[in-house]
Amino acid sequence: MISLHLFAPCSFLAQETSFDYSHSTSGKPPGPVFWICWSVFVILMVAAMWKVFTKAGQPGWAALIPIVNVYFLCKVAGRPGWWLILMLIPLVNFIILIILDIDVAKNFGKGVGFGIGLLLLPVIFFPILGFGSAQYQGASPPPPVYARPYFVQFGFRLSLNAAMPSRASADSRARM
């Protein structure tokens, strides 16, 4: 049997049983100034996203619903809606958000720098995009997908040398 006296010197490793869930140093919830500032921020961002969505031909109410607004942001950026799933994967979502913000900026006629501004300072750049004179130019069409021949899709490789004479043999026949 293991004696508990052996662990007495390790009492500093014991967990503390009282937890403090407060985010302030005085133990009080945030005051009214915080809530007023937070409300102004949220209303500004929702209004800016609403204007961006309506300029892009998407429903403005989508800015109100947390996950739905990411879906419609994908649509404004010209990306497929299933990218929403990629936004739910940790670390991948940062890369996808960078791509989405740059694509949104490009679709409104802005550059990559403006897209990075949308990423780093959305409280400034989304209102500029929504309430400014930028017009939605539409997503650039995806590159064309060329159909591959049937035999290439399933891994069959045909030797065209056997079926078609080479150029050298055709030139040698023409000299005869």
Q: Indicate whether 144 belongs to any domain.
A: no
Boundaries of domain holding 49: 31-137
Question: Which H/E stretch holds residue 124?
Answer: helix 122-131
What is the reported pTM? 0.64
- Side-chain-facing half-sphere of 100: CA atoms under 13 Å: 25
Q: For residue 86, is it within any domain? A: yes
Q: What is the mean pLDDT of the chain?
A: 80
Looking at the predicted structure, is the pLDDT value of residue 29 above 80?
yes
State in Å, rounded, how far the first CA of the chain is from the last one.
103
pLDDT at 139: 74
Tell me if 73 is assigned to some domain. Answer: yes
